């Protein structure tokens, strides 16, 4: 949880300078820059030469064309009263815009008001005959009665308004309150299986029209030894759409999909710390949260859609308790110790009810009950660091976690008490322990290094029984990745090297290897991950600086799957590799001219290797093609000072993105996947090579 306080006060540096030296130092130029910083306003225009659907997902510049560029950062201070007025605006000419105003009376009170919009534009193009997009009533045309095909772009917008108030009540006692309202509207790609008699997958859209409200009120009390922060946090989710009705033309009976319903949560919390001695400090956290969802179930309003006599309301309730205590101490000059204990209890008090039935419950899938899940986690951490001679330090630590889980049980028990609702194995207990050992050394005044090794072990009790099969697969043979026994070995090395005063280089290497026990044959068997990175900064002189970085990230997992146990099995070897490179330069050509350039290159490769063990392998594809996506972005800017108050800036960007992603294609062809021969034939496509150039010009005005 966050509070408004950091946004309403002066920075710690400026406040400390003023408190220490008073008004005399305020006359110094460096302090004047802190108390009377420059204000800037910039206005301009930019143009993209082509659509950039992939790179413009969030920045509000998805389509080619001209965009307005308007930014402002204005700060005013009344030295006599210590009052600050701030206004910061970014990207006002774009959909991705924000503006924030603040009023602060130093050491007394402050008010802030902020608005921002966050767009999300789906990078794909949907060609469809679906009618009613944007509403809760939609119609899927069939090939027998086709409607007109049209291209549709989907996306959402989130508009957030945040009001914050800060007030100093007494010396050492501050009050903060913030209220946030976020409206989300738009359409998201969706899908469903239509009602009888068609029973085929169909394309639909999720109509989003919801509001999230958050309120936080905090009291902060500070003394030289004791710090306390406590208060209330609440959130409310409200939606205008609760049920989607999807028709298939010609009318064959609608399908219904329930949408997320209104819910709310309320939390009381208290955090604190106490310094027992200059070298020993204790901390604690307490929080209790009650979340509820008791709205009317819209499925109850449709005859035959719900079990007769089932409840009109879910009466959902989840109560969460958090308690944590910790202590840090330095009993010896060479020794530092840390320990904490955390208790986390999630109790799902939602009653179990039969929502739907379609035949005898002894057959898996016929009966649908809600299945609440509760769990308690007790975790702790212990760590010690001992400083050895010759600049060495040795750190040893352990993280221990013990979780008790309630296995969901429905009313749909079959023969012998088997729960026909539980199709995936569960565990009553889960233990996860991690042990760490780290060696650090300051090798010289210019080189520092560290080496860390971690061993993690996750085990649990026996699996709870599950119901027969999932599509012919005996589900009791599945090892769910989140609860399966696992051993993890992880090593990390870092070096910070400054061979010269104007050159610094950081190296990092990380390797992780997971091994999953084979109590059950199906699921993930093992995995590994590697990360290598180097980051360098070189200052040529007082006017020019060069930065460069490179990173390599590789992840791999092997798993055994089955579709019709035990006849068909499939060994999957999944890999993902990222390579990223960046180079940047900044400099002053003259007193009036500044230049800068950046090169960024990223390549992602996903591999899907599979070995299928089935007599009729001709009916199944072998290895799927690799998916490779590459991004190259070149950026250049120049800024010319017209006079001491005015600059003009030019920006040039070249962006090149390329992919062979076949996600919405038939993997062995270039033919787009189409939704069903008996539905509307919707296809999802994307331009696999997107090249765009941007040119922009801004006028920047600076003032005090």
Looking at residue 16, its pLDDT comes to 33
Residue 517 has pLDDT above 60, yes or no: yes
- What average pLDDT does range 73-92 have in this prediction? 93
Low-confidence winner among 154-163, 395-404, 418-427 (lowest mean pLDDT): 418-427
Give, in order, the Cα–Cα distances in Å from 410 to each of 371, 427, 470, 480: 6, 16, 18, 20
Rounded Cα gap, residues 367 and 357, in angstroms: 4
pTM: 0.86
Given pLDDT bands bounded at 50, 70 and 90, which one contains residue 624? confident
Residue 372 DSSP code:
-
Rounded Cα gap, residues 94 and 273, in angstroms: 44
- Secondary structure (3-state) at 135: coil
Give, in order, the Cα–Cα distances in Å from 309 to each of 32, 80, 152, 355, 618: 73, 72, 42, 9, 50
Exposed (0-12), middle (13-18) or buried (19+): which is 500, by Cβ within 10 Å? exposed
Tell me what percent of the residues of the chain surpass a pLDDT of 90.
63
- Please enumerate in sequence order all residues whose Cβ is within 8 A of that of 386, keeping only pairs 6 or more positions apart, or say none: 334, 335, 393, 394, 395
Given pLDDT bands bounded at 50, 70 and 90, which one contains residue 477? confident
Top-confidence residue, 251 or 182: 182
- What average pLDDT does range 297-326 have in this prediction? 90
Given pLDDT bands bounded at 50, 70 and 90, which one contains residue 140? confident
Looking at residue 277, its pLDDT comes to 95
Nearest CA to 335 among 283, 396, 398? 396
Given pLDDT bands bounded at 50, 70 and 90, which one contains residue 14? very low
- What average pLDDT does range 125-135 have in this prediction? 91
Residue 410 has pLDDT above 70, yes or no: no
Given pLDDT bands bounded at 50, 70 and 90, which one contains residue 158? very high
Mean pLDDT of the chain: 86
Condensed to tens digits (0 to 9), the pLDDT of residues 631-667 reads 999 999 999 999 999 999 999 999 999 999 988 887 6
Given pLDDT bands bounded at 50, 70 and 90, which one contains residue 360? low
Residue 345 has pLDDT above 90, yes or no: yes
Residue 142 has pLDDT above 80, yes or no: no
Looking at residue 425, its pLDDT comes to 78
Condensed to tens digits (0 to 9), the pLDDT of residues 176-204 reads 999 999 999 999 998 877 555 455 678 89
What is the bridge-based pairing of β-strands 226-239 and 263-277?
A: antiparallel
Task: Tell me if 388 sits within 8 A of 394, measured CB to CB.
Answer: yes
Given pLDDT bands bounded at 50, 70 and 90, which one contains residue 51? very high
Q: Can you read off the two tokens belonging to residue 662?
A: 């076949």
- What average pLDDT does range 681-701 have in this prediction? 94
Low-confidence winner among 55-59, 192-196, 529-533 (lowest mean pLDDT): 192-196
Exposed (0-12), middle (13-18) or buried (19+): which is 4, by Cβ within 10 Å? buried
Residue 249 has pLDDT above 50, yes or no: yes
Task: Tell me if 46 sits within 8 A of 694, measured CB to CB.
Answer: yes
Looking at residue 445, its pLDDT comes to 74
What is the bridge-based pairing of β-strands 65-78 and 39-48?
A: antiparallel
Place of tokens 């029209």: 209
Rounded Cα gap, residues 88 and 76, in angstroms: 12
Residue 22 has pLDDT above 50, yes or no: no
Q: Can you read off the two tokens belonging to residue 188?
A: 């998201």
Residue 237 has pLDDT above 60, yes or no: yes
**Distance of alpha carbon 284 from the chain centroid:** 27
Condensed to tens digits (0 to 9), the pLDDT of residues 268-310 reads 999 999 999 999 999 999 999 999 999 999 988 888 788 888 8
Q: Can you read off the two tokens belonging to residue 136?
A: 């809760």
Task: Tell me if 620 sits within 8 A of 612, measured CB to CB.
Answer: yes
Three-state SS letters, 604-616: EEEEEEEEEECCC
Given pLDDT bands bounded at 50, 70 and 90, which one contains residue 623? confident
Tell me what percent of the residues of the chain surpass a pLDDT of 70.
84
Give, in order, the Cα–Cα distances in Å from 227 to each of 148, 222, 278, 283: 66, 5, 15, 9
């Amino acid at each position: 949880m966050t509070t408004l306080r950091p946004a309403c006060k002066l920075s710690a540096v400026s406040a400390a300078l003023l408190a220490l030296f008073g008004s005399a130092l305020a006359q110094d130029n460096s302090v004047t820059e802190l108390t009377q910083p420059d204000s800037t306003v910039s206005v301009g225009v930019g143009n993209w030469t082509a659509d950039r659907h992939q790179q413009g997902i969030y920045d509000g510049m998805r389509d080619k064309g001209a965009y307005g560029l308007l930014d402002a950062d204005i700060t005013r201070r009344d030295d006599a009263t210590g009052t600050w007025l701030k206004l910061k605006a970014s990207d006002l000419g774009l959909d991705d815009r924000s503006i924030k105003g603040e009023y602060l009376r130093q050491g007394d009170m402050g008010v802030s008001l902020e608005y921002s919009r966050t767009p999300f534009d789906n990078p794909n193009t949907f060609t469809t005959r679906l009618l009613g997009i944007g509403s809760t009533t939609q119609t899927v045309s069939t090939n027998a009665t086709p409607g007109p095909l049209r291209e549709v772009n989907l996306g959402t917008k989130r508009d957030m308004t945040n009001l914050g108030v800060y007030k100093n009540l007494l010396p050492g006692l501050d009050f903060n309150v913030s209220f946030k309202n976020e409206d989300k509207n738009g359409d998201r790609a969706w899908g469903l299986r239509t009602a009888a008699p068609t029973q085929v997958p169909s394309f639909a859209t999720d109509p989003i029209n919801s509001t999230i409200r958050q309120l936080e009120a905090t009291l902060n009390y500070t003394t030289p030894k004791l710090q306390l922060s406590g208060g209330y946090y609440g959130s409310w989710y409200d939606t205008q759409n609760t049920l989607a009705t999807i028709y298939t033309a010609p009318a064959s009976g609608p399908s219904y999909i329930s949408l997320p319903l209104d819910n709310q949560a309320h939390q009381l919390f208290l955090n604190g710390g106490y310094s027992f001695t200059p070298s020993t400090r204790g901390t604690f956290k307490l929080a209790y949260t009650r979340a509820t969802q008791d709205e009317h179930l819209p499925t109850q309003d449709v005859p035959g859609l719900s079990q007769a006599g089932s409840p009109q309301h879910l009466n959902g309730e989840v109560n969460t308790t958090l308690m944590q205590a910790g202590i840090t101490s330095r009993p010896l000059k060479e020794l530092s110790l840390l320990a904490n204990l955390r208790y986390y209890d999630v109790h799902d008090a939602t009653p179990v009810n039969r929502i739907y039935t379609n035949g005898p419950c002894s057959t898996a899938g016929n009966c649908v009950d809600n299945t609440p899940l509760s769990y308690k986690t007790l975790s702790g951490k212990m760590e010690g660091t001992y400083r050895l001679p010759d600049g060495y330090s040795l750190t040893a630590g352990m993280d221990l976690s013990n979780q008790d889980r309630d296995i969901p049980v429905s009313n749909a028990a079959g023969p012998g008490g088997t729960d026909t609702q539980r199709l995936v194995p569960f565990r009553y207990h889960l233990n996860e322990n991690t042990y760490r050992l780290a060696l650090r050394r300051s090798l010289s005044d210019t080189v520092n290094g560290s080496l860390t090794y971690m061993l993690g072990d996750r085990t649990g009790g026996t699996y709870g029984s599950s119901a027969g099969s999932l599509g012919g697969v005996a589900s009791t043979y599945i090892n769910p990745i989140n609860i399966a026994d696992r051993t993890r070995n992880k090593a990390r090395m870092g070096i910070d090297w400054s061979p010269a005063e104007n050159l610094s280089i950081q190296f990092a290497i990380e390797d992780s290897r997971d091994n999953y026990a084979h109590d059950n044959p199906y699921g993930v068997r093992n995995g590994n991950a590697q990360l290598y990175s180097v980051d360098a900064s070189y200052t040529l002189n007082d006017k020019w600086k060069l930065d460069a970085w490179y990173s390599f990230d590789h992840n791999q997992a092997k798993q055994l799957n089955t579709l019709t146990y035990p006849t068909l099995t499939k060994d999957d070897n999944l890999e993902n590799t990222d390579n990223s490179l960046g180079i940047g330069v900044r400099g002053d050509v003259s007193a009036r001219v500044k230049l800068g350039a950046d090169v960024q290159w990223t390549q992602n490769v996903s591999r899907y290797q599979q070995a299928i063990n089935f007599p009729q392998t001709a009916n199944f594809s072998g290895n799927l093609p690799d998916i490779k996506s590459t991004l190259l972005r070149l950026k250049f800017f120049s800024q010319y000072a017209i006079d001491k108050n005015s600059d003009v800036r030019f920006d040039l960007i070249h962006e090149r993105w390329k992919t062979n992603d076949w996600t919405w294609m038939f993997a062995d062809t270039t033919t787009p996947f189409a939704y069903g021969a008996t539905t509307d034939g919707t296809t999802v496509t994307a331009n696999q090579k997107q090249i765009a150039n941007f040119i922009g010009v801004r006028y920047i005005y600076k003032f005090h």
